[in-house]
Amino acid sequence: PSWLHFPGENGAEDTVWHYTSWPLTCVYSALDPGAHELQILDFNDPFSTEVKPRILLMGLRRSGKSSIQKVVFHKMSPNETLFLESTNKICREDVSNSSFVNFQIWDFPGQIDFFDPTFDYEMIFRGTGALIFVIDSQDDYMEALARLHLTVTRAYKVNPDINFEIFIHKVDGLSDDHKIETQRDIHQRANDDLADAGLEKIHLSFYLTSIYDHSIFEAFSKVVQKLIPQLPTLENLLNIFISNSGIEKAFLFDVVSKIYIATDSTPVDMQTYELCCDMIDVVIDISCIYGLKDDGTGTPYDKESMAIIKLNNTTVLYLKEVTKFLALVCFVREESFERKGLIDYNFHCFRKAIQEVFEVRMKVVRSRKHQSHARKDKRPTANGTSRLPL
Ligand SMILES: Nc1nc2c(ncn2[C@@H]2O[C@H](COP(=O)(O)OP(=O)(O)OP(=O)(O)O)[C@@H](O)[C@H]2O)c(=O)[nH]1
């Protein structure tokens, strides 16, 4: 077993212990002792069902990492993030809103000395699906670029399959011209650094983001979509659905986070996405006021949830419940919406197909769990017992 120390504020110290001498890696945080029960991560077992794709949030201090997590996944209002304290330990969180949106986010403290030899970055990167590096665009970003280069090169060596996602953040403070110029400059410098190191094969994706508009949700949607193995199937189903129903555009949304997990193959523009987010907010707000029972029980989003909003430009927005956490939001021309019966019938077929995709996934998960348990029971352990050395 090796010990990792993350110095906290006011002399407090969080000690993260992880045991890697066996395929099972256990992470234990001293400041958060209850967490160890959740943190049994089986990195080396390809059939493990405990491991969720991990998204790391990294970047310099005060770049906005915790704010992003709080705004996207905790519905915190952007203004409240002004009062967020600096993160002094790795914060891990499970996001399991639906069968597709299922991952773990690790928020790293900005002050962490990531390249301290006692820091086991191999363990961290091995189970990582996406590494989001947040750069504060309102600050001098040279130090951030140097840190980005170090982080990406180390991570790539351990795990070349990681998606590197660069959030050029806090762009609300920049003019439109300045935004484009900043993105071009960061893109150029980051890729030049990689080329100088002979690592031009590493692909970096760039996003302009701010917690004060929808850009952060859109960027997170794209990051999450890359981690959903069923994405091509979902896109295909959406393409078939819209082309047979006279629909202009359709999004499959995770209602809780407002991340869209898939859309058809026509291009997405920001305004369309914002309208969908606003519609979800309206539906949930109205349901919370008028949709609950007199005693306050019930949920604001259920099988009955649907909404039609007619815009003044002959476009109709149509929202329907797909599963407990997913909604389909469509853009339809008024004349096509006259054939609502056809749309509803096709939607019924679409929902059935989505359920089938879920079922296949559940079957795979169940059989992997079964195989995994069977193998764990058989293999000998380090201390001769069949239990984890916790
Ligand atoms: N203008 C603007 N400010 C932002 C944005 N996102 C975050 N901030 C502000 O940036 C400051 C730092 O945010 P944090 O989320 O605490 O930053 P962090 O990267 O988690 O910081 P550490 O925990 O120290 O590593 C806060 O005052 C936020 O309100 C944004 O998109 N635009």
pLDDT category, 43, cuts 50, 70, 90? very low
pLDDT in tens, 189-204: 999 999 999 998 999 9
Centre of ligand 1 from the C-alpha of residue 166, in Å: 16
Question: What is the Cα–Cα distance from 319 to 273, expressed in whole angstroms?
Answer: 13
Which residues are near ligand 1 (CB < 6 Å)?
59, 61-67, 81-82, 84, 86-87, 109-110, 169-170, 172-173, 210-212
Checking if the pLDDT of 118 tops 50, the result is yes
Centre of ligand 1 from the C-alpha of residue 139, in Å: 12
Beta bridge pairs of residue 40: 26
ipTM, interface predicted TM-score of the complex:
0.97
pLDDT category, 111, cuts 50, 70, 90? low
Question: What is the Cα–Cα distance from 160 to 275, expressed in whole angstroms?
Answer: 37
For residue 211, the ligand 1 atom closest to its alpha carbon is 31
Please state whether the predicted TM-score (pTM) of the whole model is above 0.80. no
319: left (phi over 0), alpha (psi -120 to 50) or beta: beta
Residues of the chain with pLDDT > 90, as a percent, come to 44
Residue 207 DSSP SS3: strand
Centre of ligand 1 from the C-alpha of residue 85, in Å: 9
Residue appearing with tokens 């920001």: 270
pLDDT (0 to 100) of residue 126: 83
pLDDT in tens, 249-305: 999 998 888 889 899 999 988 889 989 999 998 998 888 888 777 777 777 788 888
For residue 78, the ligand 1 atom closest to its alpha carbon is 29
Residues 156/201, Cβ–Cβ less than 8 Å: no
Q: Which of 16, 6, 220 lies closest to 109 in space, CA to CA?
A: 6
- Mean pLDDT, residues 4-28 taken together: 40
Question: What is the Cα–Cα distance from 125 to 155, expressed in whole angstroms?
Answer: 6
- Mean pLDDT, residues 337-365 taken together: 87
- Mean pLDDT, residues 123-132 taken together: 87
Question: What is the Cα–Cα distance from 101 to 95, expressed in whole angstroms?
Answer: 7
